[in-house]
Amino acid sequence: MPFDPEFLAQRFRRLAPASDYCSLRVVEERSESVSVRQDRPEPVSASLDHGAMVTVIDGDGIGYAAVSDLSDDGLRWALSRAAEWAALARERSVFAGRAPQLATPEGRYASPTERPVHWSKADRIDVLMRESRACRLSDRIVDWQASLWTVSAQQMLITADSRPEQAALQVFDFTIPGLHVVAHEGGVTQTRSWGGRYNGFCQQGGLEVIDRSGFIGSGRSTAEEALQLLAAANCPSGRMDIVLMPDQMMLQIHESIGHPLELDRILGDERNYAGTSFVTLDMFGTFQYGSPLLNVTYDPTRGTEFASFAFDDEGTAAERTFLIREGRLLRPLGGTSSLQRAQRSVPSLAGVATTRACAWNRPPIDRMSNLNVEPGESSLDDMIGATEYGVLMKTNRSWSIDDSRNKFQFGCEWGQMIRNGRLAEVVRDPNYRGVSRDFWRSLAMVGDAGTLEIMGTPYCGKGEPNQAIWVGHASPACRFSGVDVFGAER
Partner 1 sequence: MKDLFFALADRAFSALQPNEVALLNFSGEVTDFVRFNHAQVRQPMTVRQARLSMALIEGRRRNQITLALSGTPEQDGPRLDDALLALRAELPTLPEDPYLLYSTAANRSERIDRGALPSALQTTEDIVETARGTDLVGVLGSGPIMRGFASSLGARHWHEVDAFLFDWSLYHAGDKAVKCAWSGNTWDRAELERRIAAARDQLTHLSATARTLEPGEYRAYLAPAALDELLWMLNWGGVSEKAQRTKQSCIQKLADGQATLSPMIRLTEDTAGGMAPGFDEAGFSKPARVELVNVGRLSGSMVSPRTGAEYGIETNGADEDESMSAMALAPGALPESEALAALDRGLYIGNLHYLNFSDRANGRVTGMTRFATFWVEGGRIAAPANVMRWDDSLYRMLGSNLEALTDAPQWILNNGTYGQRSVQTSRVPGALLRKMAFTL
Among 63, 100, 332, 415, binds partner 1 (CB under 8 A): 63
- What part of residues 440-469 is at the interface with partner 1 (CB under 8 A)? 461, 464-468
- What part of residues 416-445 is at the interface with partner 1 (CB under 8 A)? 429, 431, 433, 435
Q: How far is the CB of 31 from partner 1 (least distance, A)?
A: 9
Q: How far is the CB of 64 from partner 1 (least distance, A)?
A: 4
Among 9, 15, 22, 70, binds partner 1 (CB under 8 A): 70
**Site size for partner 1 (CB under 8 A):** 83
Nearer to partner 1 by Cβ, of 30 and 325: the residue is 30
Per CB under 8 A, the segment of 44-52, 224-232, 345-353, 448-456 that binds partner 1 is 44-52
Of 482, 481, 469, 490, the residue nearest 153 (C-alpha): 469
Of 246, 456, 465, the residue nearest 368 (C-alpha): 456
Among 46, 216, 233, 449, binds partner 1 (CB under 8 A): 46
Q: How far is the CB of 408 from partner 1 (least distance, A)?
A: 8
* Amino acid at residue number 255: E
Cβ pair 33, 46 in contact under 8 A: yes
Nearer to partner 1 by Cβ, of 73 and 381: the residue is 73
- What part of residues 254-313 is at the interface with partner 1 (CB under 8 A)? 267-269, 271-273, 275-276
81 scored as a contact of partner 1 (CB under 8 A): yes
Specify the DSSP element, H or E, that contains 141. strand 141-159
Among 9, 89, 329, 383, binds partner 1 (CB under 8 A): 89
336 to 365: interface string for partner 1, x by CB under 8 A: -----------------------x-xxx-x
Q: How far is the CB of 15 from partner 1 (least distance, A)?
A: 16
Q: What angle do CA 244, 250, 251 make, to 5 degrees?
A: 90
Cβ pair 197, 456 in contact under 8 A: no
Cβ pair 432, 409 in contact under 8 A: yes
- What part of residues 140-159 is at the interface with partner 1 (CB under 8 A)? 142-143
Of 267, 298, 270, 294, the residue nearest 281 (C-alpha): 267
409 scored as a contact of partner 1 (CB under 8 A): yes
CA separation, residue 481 to residues 293, 442, 451 (Å): 13, 5, 19
Q: How far apart are CA 304 and CA 456, in angstroms?
A: 11
125 scored as a contact of partner 1 (CB under 8 A): yes
62 scored as a contact of partner 1 (CB under 8 A): yes
Among 3, 85, 198, 389, binds partner 1 (CB under 8 A): 85
- Backbone angle region of 31, left / alpha / beta, with phi > 0 → left and psi within -120 to 50 → alpha: beta
Q: How far is the CB of 81 from partner 1 (least distance, A)?
A: 5
* Amino acid at residue number 158: I
* Amino acid at residue number 477: A
Q: What angle do CA 135, 138, 140 make, to 5 degrees?
A: 105
Q: How far is the CB of 490 from partner 1 (least distance, A)?
A: 9
237 scored as a contact of partner 1 (CB under 8 A): no
Per CB under 8 A, the segment of 9-17, 47-55, 326-334, 414-422 that binds partner 1 is 47-55
399 scored as a contact of partner 1 (CB under 8 A): yes
- What part of residues 93-122 is at the interface with partner 1 (CB under 8 A)? 93-94, 96, 120-122
Nearer to partner 1 by Cβ, of 266 and 455: the residue is 266
Determine the 3-state secondary structure of 256 from DSSP.
helix
Judge if the upstream peptide bond of residue 465 is cis by omega within 30 degrees of 0.
yes
Q: How far apart are CA 126 and CA 41, in angstroms?
A: 10
Among 4, 5, 11, 49, binds partner 1 (CB under 8 A): 49
Asked whether the CA dihedral 330, 357, 309, 178 is positive or negative, the reply is positive
Q: How far apart are CA 363 and CA 65, in angstroms?
A: 9
Cβ pair 72, 15 in contact under 8 A: yes
Nearer to partner 1 by Cβ, of 228 and 409: the residue is 409
Dihedral pair phi/psi, residue 192, rounded to 5°: -120, 130
Nearer to partner 1 by Cβ, of 363 and 476: the residue is 363
Nearer to partner 1 by Cβ, of 50 and 325: the residue is 50
